[in-house]
Amino acid sequence: MEWDDELVAAYADGELHSLIQDRFEEALQRDDALRARVEREKMLRARLGGHFDPVLDEPVPDALRGMLAPRPAADVVSLDAHRRRPDRAWVPTAIAASLVVGLFGGQYLASGGGISTLPAAGGDLAQALDTQLASAPATAGATRIGTTFRDGEGRLCRTFDGADVAGFACRDGRAWRIEMLAPGSGAQASGYQQASSGAMLALQAAQERMAGEPLGEEEERRVRDAGWR
């Protein structure tokens, strides 16, 4: 039987169908020229490998690696600098707000530090995160919960939007860790609280962290009553 180049190459690549492969291997036993052709294909692969595989061991240029380093999306304020600080209660919202506003002109805090020391939410924010359902009616000036979801690590996270700050926080043990902050909607006189641009940014950042769909109303109630597990 004549073995065309395509079959010889497929054999060298381990891609020959098993039915044909048996016949091919029988032929290989008797046919020196066929063996040489297979060898030639394998040599070509080896030569290409010898040429291109060393790229795998080269250091990846910083320009490429930097594109994938954890960093906030444009206009989202990074809290990375806070991660170096020891655990402490949530910074007063007025300070947080001025920090956020100060940074919002395009300045970001330097990145670095570990996730374990992210600031924990405290006070009113912690209470809203702990107790309030996303479906709760909005009260002027009060923190409002946007959506509840799980991140890739299975942690429960919630977006929030208040007078001073918006953002999202994820459950870490018994605390809510602030993952992202942006300016809030500002104190509003009317009873109807419009979602701030900060809340939109928070939602956008949250979507990138979201694994699957946000929790529905019933599920949200259930996980709240179970202590956010």
Partner 1 sequence: MKAFEAELAGLLPRLRRFGRALARDAADADDLVQTALERALKARAQWAPGTRLDSWMMRIMRNCWIDETRSRTRRARTLAPEEDGLAVGDPAPGPEQAAAMRDVDRAMAALPEQQREVIALVLVEGLAYREAADILDIPMGTLTSRLTRGRQALVQMLEAA
Among residues 20, 48, 133, 136, which is the contact residue for partner 1, using CB under 8 A?
48
Applying CB under 8 A, does 33 fall inside the site for partner 1? no
In the complex, least distance from residue 229 CB atom to partner 1, rounded to whole angstroms: 21
Q: How far apart are CA 151 and CA 171, in angstroms?
A: 10
Task: Give alpha helix (H) positions in 53-120.
Answer: 62-68, 93-103
Say how far residue 12 (Cα) sits from the centre of its chain: 40
| Residues in 189-208 at the binding interface with partner 1, rule: CB under 8 A | 208
Q: Are 73 and 205 in contact (CB under 8 A)?
A: yes
Q: How far apart are CA 140 and CA 193, in angstroms?
A: 6
Applying CB under 8 A, does 5 fall inside the site for partner 1? yes
Q: Go through the chain and tell me how many residues it has.
A: 229
Whose Cβ is closer to partner 1: residue 70's or residue 137's? 70
Number of residues in contact with partner 1 under rule CB under 8 A: 35
Tokens representing 152 are 């890739």
Report in angstroms the alpha-carbon separations of 140 from 67, 93, 94, 208. Answer: 40, 16, 17, 29
In the complex, least distance from residue 208 CB atom to partner 1, rounded to whole angstroms: 5
Applying CB under 8 A, does 20 fall inside the site for partner 1? no
Say which amino acid occupies 6. Answer: E
Whose Cβ is closer to partner 1: residue 6's or residue 225's? 6
| Binding window for partner 1 (CB under 8 A); candidates: 55-63, 74-82, 126-134, 218-226 | 55-63
For residue 209, give the H/E element and its range. helix 197-209
Binding mask 59-98 toward partner 1 (x if CB under 8 A, else -) reads -xx-xxx-xxxx----------------------------
Q: Interface residues with partner 1 (CB under 8 A)?
A: 5-6, 9-10, 13, 15, 40-41, 44-45, 47-49, 51-53, 55-58, 60-61, 63-65, 67-70, 151-152, 208-211
